[in-house]
Chain A
Amino acid sequence: MSPDGAATQTTIEATAPEPETTEVDSLPHRIVDRLRSGDIGSWPVIIALAIIVLVFSQTAQNFFTPGNFTNIITQMAGTCLLAYGVVFVLLIGEIDLSIAFVSGVAGVVVAKAQLPNGAHLPWYVCILLALLAGTAIGAFQGSFVALIGVPSFVVTLAGFEIWQGVIQRTVPGVIVIQDNMINNASNYFFSNTAGWIIAGLVTAAYVFAMLGSAISNRRHGIPIHDPIVFVVKLVIVPFIAFLTVYIENKDRGVPFALLLMVGGLVVWTYVAKRTVFGRHIYAVGGNAEAARRAGINVARIRILVFMISGFMAGLGGIVLAARLNSVDLNAGGGTLLIDAIAAAVIGGTSLFGGRGEVRNALIGAAIISTVSNGMFILGYTTGTIFIVTGAILLLAVTFDTVVRRAQVRSGR
């Protein structure tokens, strides 16, 4: 000990009489903390979705029916799958404007590869090739962003043009997809029994994961933060699973597209929240310089994120092509790009990077599809629907910006 140890000791007692604070971890306190840090959670959007559904179910005929529920699910599947990729790109504070036409390219690849009088490859090879094409495009574009430092906005805007051109040059009007296995990506419905089994498996997996993490926490002396929330989650997720299957079974059964969306949600949420890679994605989005100093290979993370975006665009492209049983010159066109990005943003993903959840894409896509579906039933034209969707997007981004400003104020 240093000769003046005793003196130092007394100084500490005198200058820093920090009281032993008890850990305040109550639910209200944590909610306030979350709000202060700009993490508003998914509740505002879920409530908005509930209100939208409620309004249309009162005003639009045949809106609140199992048949229309299935319609909305199959309509939103493509957008939702693309939006999962958008969430990752937004998390690192970048943007990918090429996804819609990348999905179109994937559709073209799958359609060309299955042609009976052409390549005539087995369905799984066709799908694999389409996914590879999407991922490769993502890696290509991501390399420009990560290695050379070209702004992602410009790189993917160039991609937007290039892949649109590629589609226009390679599609001779229309290519019909005759392979039923490929078309099943959008048009297959599970039998009632299979539906119930799926609901059971989802429930089992969820309960198992929740209890597993609770037990692991307990072993390290960390209690369950809010027992009530814990139990509510354990009840509500299985309830939603079985309710969804119940409704779908009243119609044609659980669509395979729904399984893809739920599967995508689970897999990507796991990657984002439970893996080192996911943690580094959030770190790069939050403070790239801090991430670099912490020894994270920032370029690698960025390229991988663009590959995820390309992969999900590929998967979405296959589903979209399967839904029409064909691809044409408009593949990847229309409002697909805007809808996919809007879905991620409306769901609550920040455009400034570092904040957002994979589930935002699902909720956002549900809002967009529900609004356009309901308004269509009510007889509004696409023009009006665009205006309303645009207004919702503006509202969502404004909300994000305001919340972010509040965060900066409280942070210092």
Chain B
Amino acid sequence: MTDTPLLELRGVSKSFGSVQALTDVDFEVRAGEVMALVGDNGAGKSTLIKCVAGIHPMDDGEMLFEGEPVTVHGPRDAAKLGIEVVYQDLALCDNLDVVQNMYLGREANRFTVLQEPPMEARTRETLKTLRVTTIGSIRQAVATLSGGQRQSVAVARAVLWNSRLVILDEPTAALGVAQTEQVLALVRRLGEQGLGVVIISHNLHDVFETANRITVLRLGRNVGVYERDKTTQDEVVHAITAGVPTKVSGIPSTAPEVPA
């Protein structure tokens, strides 16, 4: 693990009209680590991620990718840097098969004619590297897959494009116990393979199962960054519900609850 974080955010602020969603937030992920981003509803987790993905422009603050300042104006820019976001509602086409979904919008082609064999071969290879072995045939429609398998496909799709940083928004929200284990194992493997991983979750069990470090946000501000091995669930819960912002930039930490 290098000392330069893969992604670093410094002093990010973002407001929607009169609602201050993020205030002077710092955030970092290193390559090869799983960083959990936790906080109560309205803490600013999703807003922060959308700033990284280029969906919302930041009002203030800077973003560094491998130590270089970068600006992201849209999902395309983020993808070019190697940042992939797996959204909660997966965005898979049920009627298409696994290979077709993996390459959706970026199909291998020669003069617009699809090149199926390389796509199929590379899909097989990617799933194998991630040890996704529960999917019987990669030529079956996604409609036939279970929730966990679908989530695996969505994650594998994010990895397929030589991505450096994968952001997962509530990847286990809709899954059963066994399928959750499947997906969490997959998330850990992404980290082991040297990618930076950000996992957003409400479920502290999931967080402690996967993350190396945990960033806690509260009311759009930093509360702290905790090492998984040196903290407890109680401490993190306390930080989420009653944490005191670490940086106070002129505004008292007892600021009234911001409507989200």
Known contacts A2-B1, A274-B114, A290-B104: A411-B93 contact under CB 8 Å? no
Across the interface, do A282 and B96 meet the contact criterion of CB distance under 8 Å? yes
Across the interface, do A220 and B121 meet the contact criterion of CB distance under 8 Å? yes
Known contacts A16-B181, A220-B118, A276-B107: A291-B93 contact under CB 8 Å? yes
Query: Is residue B120 within 8 Å, beta carbon to beta carbon, of the partner chain?
Result: yes
Binds A, one of B5-13, B15-23, B143-151: B143-151
Binds B, one of A18-26, A96-104, A134-142, A306-314: A18-26
Across the interface, do A275 and B114 meet the contact criterion of CB distance under 8 Å? yes
| Most chain A CB atoms below 10 A, which of B1, B114, B146, B228 | B114
Q: How far is the CA of A354 from the CA of B90 in the complex (A)?
A: 18
Report the minimum CB–CB distance from B195 to chain A (whole Å): 13
Report the minimum CB–CB distance from A21 to chain B (whole Å): 5
Across the interface, do B100 and A294 meet the contact criterion of CB distance under 8 Å? no
Query: Is residue B33 within 8 Å, beta carbon to beta carbon, of the partner chain?
Result: yes
Residues of B within 8 A of A293 (CB): 75, 87, 91
Across the interface, do B144 and A294 meet the contact criterion of CB distance under 8 Å? no
Across the interface, do B106 and A282 meet the contact criterion of CB distance under 8 Å? no
Q: How far is the CA of A154 from the CA of B44 in the complex (A)?
A: 42
Residues of B within 8 A of A295 (CB): 75-76, 105-106
Across the interface, do B1 and A283 meet the contact criterion of CB distance under 8 Å? no
Q: How far is the CA of A12 from the CA of B118 in the complex (A)?
A: 31
Query: Is residue B247 within 8 Å, beta carbon to beta carbon, of the partner chain?
Result: no
Query: Is residue B112 within 8 Å, beta carbon to beta carbon, of the partner chain?
Result: yes
Q: How many residues of B contact A (CB 8 A)?
A: 52
Known contacts A24-B136, A37-B141, A412-B147: A287-B188 contact under CB 8 Å? no
Known contacts A289-B91, A290-B92: A37-B1 contact under CB 8 Å? no
- Specify the main secondary structure of chain A where it touches its partner: helix
Across the interface, do A282 and B91 meet the contact criterion of CB distance under 8 Å? no
Across the interface, do A23 and B136 meet the contact criterion of CB distance under 8 Å? yes
Report the minimum CB–CB distance from A13 to chain B (whole Å): 10
| B137 CB contact (under 8 Å) in A24, A220, A294, A354 | A24
Q: How far is the CA of A277 from the CA of B113 in the complex (A)?
A: 9
Query: Is residue B88 within 8 Å, beta carbon to beta carbon, of the partner chain?
Result: no
Known contacts A279-B114, A286-B95, A294-B105: A21-B228 contact under CB 8 Å? no
Residues of A within 8 A of B131 (CB): 18
Query: Is residue B77 within 8 Å, beta carbon to beta carbon, of the partner chain?
Result: no
Residues of A within 8 A of B188 (CB): 8, 11-12
Across the interface, do A38 and B121 meet the contact criterion of CB distance under 8 Å? no
A residues engaging B (CB < 8 A)? 1-5, 8-9, 11-12, 15-16, 18-21, 23-25, 29-30, 33-34, 36-39, 213, 216-217, 219-222, 225, 274-280, 282-283, 285-287, 289-291, 293-296, 354-355, 407-408, 410-412
